[in-house]
Amino acid sequence: MDSKQSRKKNSKHSKITQPLREGEKKIRVALQSSSQAIEVAHMDREQRYTFIYNPHPDFCAEDSLGKTDDEINFNDGTIKLRMLKKKVIESGMGAQEIISFPVPDGTRSYRISVEPLRDDSGRIKGATSVSIDITGLTMAVPDDKRLSGILPLCSYCKSIRNGQGDWENVDEYISNHTEAKISHGICPECMQEHHPAIYTKLS
């Protein structure tokens, strides 16, 4: 190949790759300017990292390449993450989960979305993940607005006994003691029992 042909080939290659590089740069800027920490990663079928962008500051992306999560740091969070990735790679279907990890500055929670990564022929060659740090969001809910412990629930009317010894119906209890909002509907079983004509029509 002479120099003229080589220059022509290089020019054609540059025209193809330039928009890709610019697109990648825009994505990096968007991720960096996000108010939440976002990590993007690719891994092979054995879940060994082949690409990591923006990991937690205590972890080095270069040192993590070629390793699995539990080889990087073994804890309950990495075990759950490996199980999530395994499910996605084996099933070929994406999945999402909130997983917490112990780190030197405390515990951090991430909403992790994992999707299968396929080659040109459609075969699964690994997975890609996006992890969004939601620690600040979960911590924003006051302790007195989180349900925990044992709730005394009436076996018949399903009312809940509150801290003052009074019985509240479930709707009132959730509204008074959590940040959740109630939206009423009707399940298929109750629709069939209480409104059989409508249930038959809808079915």
Domain boundaries, the chain: 34-139, 143-202
Mean of per-residue pLDDT scores for the chain = 78
Q: Report the pLDDT value the prediction gives residue 194, as an integer from 0 to 100.
A: 83
pLDDT digits 0-9 by tens, 191-201: 788 888 877 87
Asked if the model's pLDDT at residue 7 lies above 50, the reply is: yes
pLDDT digits 0-9 by tens, 60-96: 878 889 999 989 988 889 999 999 999 999 999 999 9
> How many other C-beta atoms are found inside a 10 Å radius of the C-beta of residue 77?
21
Contact 153, 65 (CB under 8 A): no
Q: Report the pLDDT value the prediction gives residue 35, as an integer from 0 to 100.
A: 47
Lowest-pLDDT range, 12-26, 41-55, 106-120? 12-26
Fold of 34-139: Beta-Lactamase (3.30.450)
Amino acid at residue number 113:
S
Q: Report the pLDDT value the prediction gives residue 137, as an integer from 0 to 100.
A: 67
Place of tokens 């990663």: 41
Lowest-pLDDT range, 50-54, 96-100, 120-124, 191-195? 191-195
Task: Give alpha helix (H) positions in 135-187.
Answer: 135-139, 170-177
Q: Which of 111, 105, 99 is nearest to 36 (CA)?
A: 111
Asked if the model's pLDDT at residue 97 lies above 60, the reply is: yes
Kindly indicate the confidence band of residue 36, based on its pLDDT and cuts at 50, 70 and 90.
low
- Mean pLDDT computed over 32-40: 66
Q: Report the pLDDT value the prediction gives residue 18, as an integer from 0 to 100.
A: 67
Q: What is the DSSP letter of 146?
A: S
